[in-house]
C-alpha cells in the first residue's frame, strides 16, 4: 500500500496523532506524580490497531435479529448519575436504567413513600441525599457462580451500599456505613467464611478509600496521624453492618476467594500520609488480605472497640497490631506502587493486582497467603508468584477461563492479553516464557474491563468489554462533555476481535456480564406482597383531622375514582394499586404542580404523601401508555380553598 495514502489517512482521522497525544500527555502527568515511570518491554509484540477512528468496525455476530434475545446481561455501574444500567450483549442495547441513589420520576424513585423509606430521609420527610456515585456492581453467588438473587452496588460519595433484587431489578435495601468516607471497592463473599456448609453469599465486603478522623466529629482535624480507614462487612441477608476492621492505607477495590476464607483490597498510601508527596514516599504499596474467620472470632470474644456513636464492632487490622502471623487478622502483601484493581482468577488460585504507576501486574497465590497466616511463609512478599511487565498504566484484569488474563492499559490505550502460567514461569526464571500474547488498541484510555462470567468459576471466554474513559473523535460531538465508549471484544478465538463499540453516558465504571439463563425475573407482582394494597373493600377516601388517605385502584383505562376532593392545608396520602394482571401493563400517576409522578406495575402498590398547599382543579393522569384510551385515563383532583 502507498505510504503516502497511509499518512493522509492518519491526518484525516487523527488517530495516530490523538493516540500519541493522549498517551504521552497522560504518561507525563502520572510520571510527575510517580517521579518517573518504568518503560515496558513488549518482547517484540507489536500493538495491533483495533479500528480507525473514522471507520465502523465490521460486525462479528453482534446483530440480534428481530424476535431474538441477547445471550448475556451486562450490569454496569454508572458513576455520578447514581444509578445502575442493564445492557443486552452482544447487541449492546440498553435494557433498563435502575435508579439507586438518584431520583427517577419515571418510576417514582425518590418520590414515592416506599422508595424514600429505602433511600433514607430527614426528620421532615425529605431525602437525606439526592446525589450518588456508583462505581462497582457485583452479583451474589452459589457454588462459585452467580445465583441470580441479588446485585450489590456502592455509593462512593455518601458511603452507602445498595442491594438490587434481580427478580424485579429494583433496589430493596440501602445501608450507610458508619465512620467511612470514599467507599469505593465492594465484593460479596462466594461462600460463608466460617461455616463451609453454606455455599452461597452471606456477606458483602466494603473498602473505604479516604482517611478521616475516627470519629469524624470535628476533633483531630489537623492531626492526620489519628486518621484512619475502615474495611466493613455487611450481612447480605439483613444488610446490617456486622463489623469493621481498621487498616493502614487507602483501600481501592475488593476481591474474595472461592473458599470464602479471604477477602482482599489493593491499597495505595500505605504511608498513611495526608498529601501527595507523603503518599509517594514508599517504594511499594500493598494488597491487604483479611482473615475473615479470625476477625469474627475476635468480635465474638468481645475483643473489639467501637467508634463514636456507632455500635458496630471495630477490630484493629493495622500492621503494627498484627506482627504475629499466627494471630494476625490482616496480611499486607507488597505490590507495585499505587496499585489499581484486584481480581480473582476463575480457578480460585490467584489474585491479580495491577500496578498503575508500575507497568506490571502482581500475581498473588492464595494458598501462600494462608501459609503466611499459619506462620509457615517467611515474608508476605513470598506470596507473590509472578510480576510480568505488561504495559503502561495497567488498571483492571479480566479472565477467559483458559488461563489468560486481559488487563486494561490506561496510558497505552490498549487491552493486553497475557498468560498467567507463563508469567509465573518467567518469575521463576524461565527466560523463554512468552507472557504477552497480544495487544489491542481501544479508544481511548480504558478503565475497567470485564469478561463474560469472568468473575465466576464459569468464565466462558466469549466476550470482553472495555470501558473507555475518553471517546474524542469516535462519535458526533454534543458539546464540551463527550460521551464515553464501551467496546465489545470477541475473545473466543486465538486473536482478539473488536466487534462493536457503543456510546455510554458519563461515567460508567465496573460491570459484570451474566448469562441470560442465570437471570429469572418476575413479570407480575403478587398483590398481597404489599401490606397497603388497595382492594374494592378498602378503596375510597378516609379523613382523620387534616390527614387524608386516598386509596385508589387502577385498571386500564381508568382510576377507581373519577373525582377526588380534599381541602387546602390537608396532608394527603395517595395509595395506588394496579389491578391489571397482564404482563407489561403498567400504569402511571402524575399530579400537576404537586411534584408527583410514579408508575405501578401489574399488581403493585405505591404511595405518595404531600401537603395540599394550593387550591384548584388538577387533572391526575396516567403517564405510562396502557390502553387505546390511555389519554382518557384521568381523575379530577380538587383542592378546595
Burial 133-156 (b: 16+ CB within 10 A, else e): bbbbbbbbbeebbbebbbbbbbbb
Sequential DSSP letters for 338-394: S---EEE-TTSSEEEEE-SSSSBEEEEEHHHHHHHHHT-SS-GGGGEEE--B--SSE
Q: Diameter of the chain by CA atoms?
A: 88
pLDDT value at position 40? 40
pLDDT at 132: 97
Task: Specify the length of the chain in residues.
Answer: 641
The dihedral through the CA atoms of 10, 12, 15, 16 has a sign that is positive
> Do residues 20 and 27 touch, judged by C-beta distance below 8 A?
no
CA distance 409 to 47: 12
CATH code 2.60.40.420 region(s) in the chain: 527-640
Q: Distance between alpha carbon 42 and the CA centroid of its chain, in Å?
A: 32
Q: What is the pLDDT of residue 276?
A: 86
Q: How far apart are CA 321 and CA 327, in angstroms?
A: 10
Give yes or no for a contact between 282 and 336, defined as CB atoms under 8 angstroms apart: no
* DSSP per-residue letters across 379-416: -GGGGEEE--B--SSEEEEEE-SSSEEEEEETTTTEEE
As a whole number of angstroms, the distance between CA 251 and CA 257 comes to 17
The label of the residue with cell 483479611 reads: 290
User: What pLDDT is recorded for position 472?
Assistant: 85
Tell me the fold of 527-640: Immunoglobulin-like (2.60.40)
Q: What is the rounded distance in angstroms from the CA atom of residue 438 to the CA atom of residue 489?
A: 13
Q: How many CB atoms lie within 10 A of CB 276?
A: 9
For residue 426, count other CB atoms closer than 10 A to its CB.
20
Q: What are phi and psi of 24, to 5 degrees?
A: -70, -40
- Backbone phi, psi, residue 592, to 5°: -55, 140
The Cα-based distances of 560 to 488, 590, 599, 603 in angstroms read: 48, 15, 16, 15
Q: For the chain, how far is it from start to end, CA to CA, in angstroms?
A: 82
DSSP state of 183: E
Residue pair 195/212 in contact by the 8 Å Cβ criterion: no
Sequence-distant (≥ 6) Cβ neighbours of residue 502 within 8 angstroms: 87, 92, 485, 486, 487, 488
Contact 263, 289 (CB under 8 A): yes
Measured between alpha carbons, how far is 335 from 58 in angstroms, rounded to an integer?
Answer: 40
Q: Does the CA dihedral 230-75-188-333 come out positive or negative?
A: negative
Do 347 and 353 meet the contact criterion of CB atoms below 8 Å apart?
no
**Which segments of 35-138 does DSSP mark as H helices, in order?**
113-119
**Angle value at C-alpha 163, between 451 and 97, nearest 5 degrees:** 65
Question: pTM of whole model > 0.85?
Answer: yes
- In this structure, are residues 566 and 548 in contact, taking their beta carbons and an 8 Å threshold? yes
Other beta carbons less than 10 A from residue 88's beta carbon: 18
3-state secondary structure 118-138: HHCECCCCCECCCCCCECCEE
Task: Decide: residue 551, CB within 10 A, 0-12 exposed, 13-18 middle, 19+ buried.
Answer: buried
b/e 314-335 (16+ beta carbons within 10 angstroms → b): bbbbbbeebeebeebbbbbbbb
What are the mean pLDDT values of the chain's consecutive 10-residue runs (641 residues total)? 40 48 48 39 40 39 86 96 96 96 97 98 96 97 98 98 98 98 97 95 97 96 94 98 97 97 94 85 92 98 98 97 97 94 97 94 98 98 98 96 97 97 98 97 95 98 96 90 94 96 91 98 97 98 98 98 98 98 97 98 98 98 96 97 95
Instruction: Calculate ∠ Cα 599-604-607, nearest 5°.
Output: 60
Return the percent helix, strand and coil in the chain, to nearest 5.
Answer: 15, 40, 45
Residue 501 to residue 12: CA distance in whole angstroms: 20
How many helical (H) and strand (E) elements, i.e. helices and strands, does the chain have? 7, 40
- Could you tell me if 242 and 203 are in contact, meaning their C-beta atoms sit under 8 angstroms apart? yes
For residue 578, report the phi and psi dihedrals to the nearest 5 degrees.
Answer: -85, 115
Q: CA separation (Å) from 632 to 105, 367, 562? A: 21, 67, 11
Give the C-alpha separation, 459 to 286, whole Å: 27
H or E segment at 49? Answer: none
215 preceded by a cis bond (ω within 30 of 0): yes
Cell numbers that stand for 202 in this block: 452471606
Residue 203: closest CA among 166, 161, 167, 172: 161
Q: In what order do the strands lie in the sheet with 436-441?
A: 394-399, 404-409, 414-419, 436-441
Amino acid at each position: 500500500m502507498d505510504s503516502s495514502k497511509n499518512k493522509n489517512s492518519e491526518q484525516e482521522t487523527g488517530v495516530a496523532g490523538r493516540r500519541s497525544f493522549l498517551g504521552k500527555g497522560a504518561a507525563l502527568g502520572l510520571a510527575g506524580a510517580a517521579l518517573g515511570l518504568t518503560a515496558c518491554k513488549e518482547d517484540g509484540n507489536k500493538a495491533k490497531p483495533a479500528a480507525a477512528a473514522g471507520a465502523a468496525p465490521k460486525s462479528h455476530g453482534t446483530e440480534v435479529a428481530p424476535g431474538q434475545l441477547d445471550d448475556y446481561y451486562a450490569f454496569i455501574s454508572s458513576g455520578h448519575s447514581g444509578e445502575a444500567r442493564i445492557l443486552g450483549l452482544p447487541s449492546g442495547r440498553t435494557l433498563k436504567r435502575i435508579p439507586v441513589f438518584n431520583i427517577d420520576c419515571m418510576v417514582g424513585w425518590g418520590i414515592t413513600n416506599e422508595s424514600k423509606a429505602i433511600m433514607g430521609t430527614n426528620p421532615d420527610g425529605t431525602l437525606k441525599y439526592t446525589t450518588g456515585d456508583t462505581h462497582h456492581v457485583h452479583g451474589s453467588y452459589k457454588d462459585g457462580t452467580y445465583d441470580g438473587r441479588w446485585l450489590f452496588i456502592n455509593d462512593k460519595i455518601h458511603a452507602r451500599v445498595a442491594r438490587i433484587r434481580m427478580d424485579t431489578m429494583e433496589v430493596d435495601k440501602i445501608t450507610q456505613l458508619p465512620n467511612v468516607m470514599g467507599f469505593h471497592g465492594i465484593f460479596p463473599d462466594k461462600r460463608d467464611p466460617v461455616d463451609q456448609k453454606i455455599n452461597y453469599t452471606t456477606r458483602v465486603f466494603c473498602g473505604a478509600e479516604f482517611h478521616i478522623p475516627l470519629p469524624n466529629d470535628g476533633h483531630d482535624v489537623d492531626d492526620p496521624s489519628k486518621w484512619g480507614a475502615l474495611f466493613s462487612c455487611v450481612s447480605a441477608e439483613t444488610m446490617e453492618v456486622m463489623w469493621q476492621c481498621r487498616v493502614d492505607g487507602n483501600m481501592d477495590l475488593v476481591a474474595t476467594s472461592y473458599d470464602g476464607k479471604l477477602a482482599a483490597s489493593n491499597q495505595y498510601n500505605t504511608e498513611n500520609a495526608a498529601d501527595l508527596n507523603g503518599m509517594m514516599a514508599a517504594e511499594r504499596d500493598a494488597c491487604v488480605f483479611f482473615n475473615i474467620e479470625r476477625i469474627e472470632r475476635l468480635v465474638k470474644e468481645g475483643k473489639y472497640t467501637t467508634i463514636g456513636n456507632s455500635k458496630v464492632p471495630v477490630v484493629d487490622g493495622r500492621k503494627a497490631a498484627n506482627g504475629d502471623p499466627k494471630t494476625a487478622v490482616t496480611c499486607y502483601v507488597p505490590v507495585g506502587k499505587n496499585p489499581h484493581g484486584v481480581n480473582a482468577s476463575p480457578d480460585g488460585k490467584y489474585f491479580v493486582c495491577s500496578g498503575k504507576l508500575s507497568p506490571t501486574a502482581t500475581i498473588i497465590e492464595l494458598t501462600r497467603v494462608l501459609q503466611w497466616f499459619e506462620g509457615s511463609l517467611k515474608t508476605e512478599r513470598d506470596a507473590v508468584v509472578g510480576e510480568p511487565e505488561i504495559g503502561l498504566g495497567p488498571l483492571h484484569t479480566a479472565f477467559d477461563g483458559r488461563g489468560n488474563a486481559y488487563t486494561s492499559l490506561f496510558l497505552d490505550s490498549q487491552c493486553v492479553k497475557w498468560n498467567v502460567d507463563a508469567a509465573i514461569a518467567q518469575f521463576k526464571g524461565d527466560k523463554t516464557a512468552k507472557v504477552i500474547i497480544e495487544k489491542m488498541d481501544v479508544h481511548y484510555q480504558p478503565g475497567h474491563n470485564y469478561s463474560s462470567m469472568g468473575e465466576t468459576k464459569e468464565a466462558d471466554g466469549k466476550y470482553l468489554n472495555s470501558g473507555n474513559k475518553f471517546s474524542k473523535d469516535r462519535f458526533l460531538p454534543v458539546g464540551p462533555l463527550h460521551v464515553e465508549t464501551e467496546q465489545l471484544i470477541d475473545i473466543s478465538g486465538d486473536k482478539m476481535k473488536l466487534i462493536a463499540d457503543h456510546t455510554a453516558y458519563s461515567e460508567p465504571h465496573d460491570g459484570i456480564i451474566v448469562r441470560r439463563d442465570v437471570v429469572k425475573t418476575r413479570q407480575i407482582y403478587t398483590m398481597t406482597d404489599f401490606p397497603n394494597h388497595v382492594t374494592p373493600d378498602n378503596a375510597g377516601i378516609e379523613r382523620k383531622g387534616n390527614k387524608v388517605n386516598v386509596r385508589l385502584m387502577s385498571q386500564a383505562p381508568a382510576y377507581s375514582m373519577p373525582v377526588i376532593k380534599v381541602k387546602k392545608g390537608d396532608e394527603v396520602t395517595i395509595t395506588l394499586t394496579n389491578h391489571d394482571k397482564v404482563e407489561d401493563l403498567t400504569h402511571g400517576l402524575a399530579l400537576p404542580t404537586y411534584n408527583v409522578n410514579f408508575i405501578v406495575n401489574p399488581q403493585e402498590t405505591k404511595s405518595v404523601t404531600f401537603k395540599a398547599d394550593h387550591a384548584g382543579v388538577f387533572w391526575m393522569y396516567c403517564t405510562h401508555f396502557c390502553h387505546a384510551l390511555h389519554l382518557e385515563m384521568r381523575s379530577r383532583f380538587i383542592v378546595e380553598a
